């Protein structure tokens, strides 16, 4: 049975007044506001002696519609009481971070902060909490960097100097920039409107004793990663060669063309260490000074971001890849690298089977997983091999994360914080991990969130199927590591929430991750994976086949749009920031070779003029199949998002075919909502949308966008 709206509402533009749900909350319900109010830990850093952990705590400030960042300190001995060191800058981004680093002697921490319109280095003493600036405001302004990546701040081993990267805006060619009062046009490149150049990264070193700043890298390099040698005489950097001090192709700024260089810390002279296609990045110098580990694409430029741990002699020589076999099993790239105390191998973090884990890879190629499978989801790793210690956050889908610490040799996590003391510990939704076979026999995994206390044999549940963006691995962190939908509220209201890890996503092996580009299978194969998982839930009596909903963001929104052109099994859908016309996208990419390769590597799509390509693109584009859609659709886009231009025409098509649909536009928003009040509005809007359509008899609700409903058999 299907429904059509004879009068559908047009665009809804959101104000800061959050919409409300008509449903009365149950006593055990986890509300949208509670989810968004949960304190979050964003960074963890062990002190040099292993006696303490500094962590960043993000709080939600509802009154000012922002997030506040605080820096806290807690000892690594059980029972130590945390204390706040300082208040960081407030902002509307949920991801703003101080990225503080310890001084090697452990007396203080250093971080970048923007105050009074200037970005400077600041130091805070751990004992007293006293702050002082390390760089002069006016001197720093004269250098005019656009910004400083806070996670690229590195102390020299002796604690006398700080190395960091500052972004420098390239000068605009006046002959090719008309300015605000121009009365003539200008010639654009295939990279327009970014063809005035992308900011470059320059390596700076601060002598802490006298405040002297020195730039070490020339205009011919753009630096993105740095590491000191143990003796402090050199740095190894990951950098991109540039022409005339500017990066004209914005795709190069992603780092896929980065190589490794060794830079003299006194003179700035540099030499190439590793030069090969694809990225070579995140270098780490071994304690004995003989080796440099880094993350590498193994000489193959790959927009699907496949990479593994690599090792090269510090003096130069052949590159080895000790993590290559393990990476094929994981299907995910390493994070930051830390050498063990004997320079025999490196610790790193990577995604695997729904979790993020800590691994160790020896130079000879033995890779072991340090953190255990199952249970907690680990993140924000800090590793101190010389003290046999690691700190990180640990959480679960229904439980916000806290800081834990464990020995490296025998993992035994002990909690150090309780940053959400009022969060319930009992009566929470429970997660299961499932596996099934897709239509072609491929094994697929996924995660299922069930209402609290549900027992086998209970009646089938209304079910929300969620398709994350990326395509990235489905993660088992708090709320599945997603902040865009209120999964815990759905589950506490009696919904099942199903998140399948369809092909093209990481964590379950490189073959599954590479399935899209290898078979030009951006949407059909993943769609078959999802539907096979839905069939499993129906067969097991978990999901009510008459009350299925589908939601997706970014890539997941693209897949959602494709799904509703192929099936009418979903009674409602929610699409956030989706694209629907791959023919148009490929035409737009045609003039940029980097963009063409990106699409081939990530999707397998070819250009429309290649034999058979146009038909393939049209078949995977919901725009050209929209006459099949019968599923009510809620569309959500950011006012400042590039994807917005895809949402308006698709909404027009849905209106043309009289599909119940609403387009919601969020102000001050790019590709994903950040502001707490806007997120709350979206949470409640999605709850109301699916509750309305997944009830036995849907009813009109002007707050959602439908005011007259008539039944219609297809």
Q: What is the dihedral of CA 174, 175, 179, 185, to 10 degrees?
A: -170
Residue tagged 């003539």 (tokens): 184
- In the predicted model, residues of the chain with pLDDT beneath 70 are 1-27, 117-118, 136-151, 170-182, 193-197, 244-250, 252-253, 697-714
Q: Is 480 left (phi over 0), alpha (psi -120 to 50) or beta?
A: left
Q: Is 103 left (phi over 0), alpha (psi -120 to 50) or beta?
A: beta
CATH number at residue 474: 3.40.50.1820
Distance in angstroms between the alpha carbons of the first and the last residue of the chain = 7
CB 286 within 8 A of CB 385: no
Angle (CA) 365-367-370 rounded to 5° is 155
Instruction: Please tell me the distance from the alpha carbon of residue 586 to that of residue 645, in angstroms, as a whole number.
Output: 15
Residue 127 falls inside a structural domain: no
Q: What is the pLDDT of residue 194?
A: 65
Residue 234 falls inside a structural domain: no
Q: How many CB atoms lie within 10 A of CB 141?
A: 13
Q: What is the pLDDT of residue 602?
A: 87
Instruction: Please tell me the distance from the alpha carbon of residue 469 to that of residue 632, in angstroms, as a whole number.
Output: 21
Q: What is the pLDDT of residue 97?
A: 79
Residue 159 falls inside a structural domain: no
Q: How many domains does the chain have?
A: 1
Residue 682 falls inside a structural domain: yes
Pair of tokens at residue 95: 């991801």
Element (H, E) at 45: strand 40-46
Pairing of the two strands 443-450 and 367-369: unpaired
Residue 282: cis peptide before it, omega within 30 degrees of 0 = no
Instruction: Please tell me the distance from the alpha carbon of residue 498 to that of residue 533, in angstroms, as a whole number.
Output: 9
Helix (H, G, I), strand (E, B) or coil at 540: coil
CB 377 within 8 A of CB 401: yes
User: How long is the chain?
Assistant: 714
Q: What is the pLDDT of residue 494?
A: 94
With a CB cutoff of 8 Å and minimum separation 6, the contacts of 442 are 503, 512, 515, 525, 529
Q: What is the pLDDT of residue 27?
A: 43
Which of 521, 356, 392, 540 lies closest to 454, judged by CA?
540
Residue 179 falls inside a structural domain: no
Distance of alpha carbon 578 from its chain centroid, rounded? Answer: 17
CB 645 within 8 A of CB 655: no
Residue 302 falls inside a structural domain: no
Q: What is the pLDDT of residue 246?
A: 67
DSSP secondary structure string for all residues of 298-319 = TT---TT---EEEEEETT----
Q: What is the pLDDT of residue 92?
A: 79
Instruction: Please tell me the distance from the alpha carbon of residue 520 to that of residue 524, in angstroms, as a whole number.
Output: 9
Residue 66 falls inside a structural domain: no
Partner residues linked to 228 by β-bridges: 235
Question: What's the per-residue H, E or C state across 489-517?
Answer: HHHHCCCEEEEEECCCCCCCCHHHHCHHH
Which of 517, 496, 495, 514 lies closest to 505, judged by CA?
514
Partner residues linked to 447 by β-bridges: 433, 499
Residue tagged 């390509």 (tokens): 613
* Domain coverage including residue 708: 2-34+427-581+621-712
Instruction: Please tell me the distance from the alpha carbon of residue 406 to that of residue 390, in angstroms, as a whole number.
Output: 5
CA atoms within 13 A on the CB side of 78: 5
Instruction: Please tell me the distance from the alpha carbon of residue 597 to that of residue 304, in angstroms, as a whole number.
Output: 10
Pairing of the two strands 572-576 and 633-638: parallel
Q: What is the pLDDT of residue 249?
A: 67
Cα distances from 193 to residues 249, 277, 672, in angstroms, run 11, 27, 22
With a CB cutoff of 8 Å and minimum separation 6, the contacts of 86 are 70, 71, 124, 129, 131
Residue 166 falls inside a structural domain: no
Which of 215, 220, 195 lies closest to 204, judged by CA?
215
């Amino acid at each position: 049975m299907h429904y059509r709206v004879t009068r559908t509402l047009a665009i809804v533009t959101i104000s800061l007044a959050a919409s409300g749900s008509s449903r009365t909350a149950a006593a055990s319900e986890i509300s949208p506001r509670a989810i968004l109010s949960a304190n979050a830990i964003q960074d963890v850093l062990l002190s040099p002696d292993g006696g303490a952990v500094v962590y960043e705590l993000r709080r939600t400030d509802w009154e000012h519609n922002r997030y506040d960042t605080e820096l806290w300190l807690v000892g690594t001995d059980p029972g130590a009481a945390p204390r706040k060191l300082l208040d960081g800058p407030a902002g509307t981004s949920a991801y703003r971070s101080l990225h503080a680093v310890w001084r090697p002697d452990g007396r203080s921490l250093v971080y970048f902060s923007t105050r009074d319109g200037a970005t400077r280095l600041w130091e805070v003493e751990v004992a007293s909490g006293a702050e002082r600036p390390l760089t002069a405001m006016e001197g720093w302004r004269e250098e005019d960097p656009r910004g400083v990546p806070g996670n690229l701040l590195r102390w020299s081993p002796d604690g006398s100097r700080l190395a960091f990267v500052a972004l420098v805006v390239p000068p605009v060619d006046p002959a090719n920039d008309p300015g605000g009062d121009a009365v003539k046009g200008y010639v654009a490149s295939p990279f327009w409107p970014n063809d005035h150049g992308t900011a470059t990264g320059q390596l700076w070193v601060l002598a802490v004793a006298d405040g002297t700043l020195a730039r070490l890298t020339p205009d011919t390099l753009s630096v993105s990663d740095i590491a000191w040698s143990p003796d402090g005489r050199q740095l190894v950097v990951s950098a991109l060669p540039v022409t005339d001090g500017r990066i004209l192709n914005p795709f190069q700024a992603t780092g896929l063309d980065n190589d490794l260089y060794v830079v003299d810390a006194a003179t700035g002279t540099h030499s190439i260490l590793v030069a090969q296609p694809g990225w070579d990045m995140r270098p780490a110098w071994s304690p004995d000074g003989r080796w440099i580990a880094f993350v590498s694409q193994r000489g193959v430029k790959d927009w699907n971001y496949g990479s593994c741990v690599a090792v090269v002699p510090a003096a130069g020589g052949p590159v080895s890849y000790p993590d290559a076999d393990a990476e094929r099993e994981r299907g995910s790239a390493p994070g930051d690298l830390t050498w063990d105390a004997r320079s025999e191998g490196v610790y790193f973090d990577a995604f695997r089977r729904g979790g993020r884990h800590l691994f160790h890879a020896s130079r000879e190629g033995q890779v072991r997983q340090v953190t255990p499978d199952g249970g907690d989801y680990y993140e924000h790793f800090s590793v101190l091999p010389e003290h046999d210690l690691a700190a990180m956050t640990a959480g679960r889908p229904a439980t916000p994360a806290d800081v834990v610490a464990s020995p490296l040799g025998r993992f035994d996590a002990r909690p150090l914080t309780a940053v959400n003391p009022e969060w319930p510990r009992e009566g929470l939704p429970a997660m299961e991990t499932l596996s099934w076979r897709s239509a072609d026999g491929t094994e697929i995994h996924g995660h299922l969130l069930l209402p609290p206390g549900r027992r086998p044999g209970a009646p089938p549940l209304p079910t929300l199927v969620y398709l994350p963006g990326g395509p990235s691995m489905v993660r088992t962190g708090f709320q599945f590591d997603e902040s865009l939908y209120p999964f815990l509220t759905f589950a506490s209201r009696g919904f099942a929430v199903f998140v399948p890890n369809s092909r093209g996503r990481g964590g379950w092996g490189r073959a599954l991750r590479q399935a899209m580009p290898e078979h030009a299978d951006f949407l059909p194969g993943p769609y078959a994976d999802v539907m096979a998982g839905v069939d499993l839930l129906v067969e097991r009596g978990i999901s009510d086949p008459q009350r299925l909903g589908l939601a997706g963001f970014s890539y997941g929104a693209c897949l959602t749009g494709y799904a509703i052109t192929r099936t009418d099994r979903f009674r409602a859908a929610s699409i956030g920031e989706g694209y629907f016309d791959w023919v148009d996208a490929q035409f737009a990419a045609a003039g940029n070779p980097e963009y063409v390769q990106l699409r081939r590597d990530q999707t397998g799509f070819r250009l429309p003029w290649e034999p058979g390509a146009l038909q393939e693109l049209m078949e995977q584009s919901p725009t050209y199949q929209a006459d099949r859609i019968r599923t009510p659709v809620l569309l959500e886009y950011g006012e400042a998002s590039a994807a917005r231009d895809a949402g308006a025409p698709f909404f027009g098509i849905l209106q043309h075919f009289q599909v119940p649909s609403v387009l919601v536009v969020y102000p001050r928003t790019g590709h994903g909502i950040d502001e707490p009040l806007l997120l709350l509005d979206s949470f409640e809007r999605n709850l109301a949308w699916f509750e309305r359509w997944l009830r036995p008899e849907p009813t009109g609700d002007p707050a959602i966008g439908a005011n007259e409903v008539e039944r219609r058999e297809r």
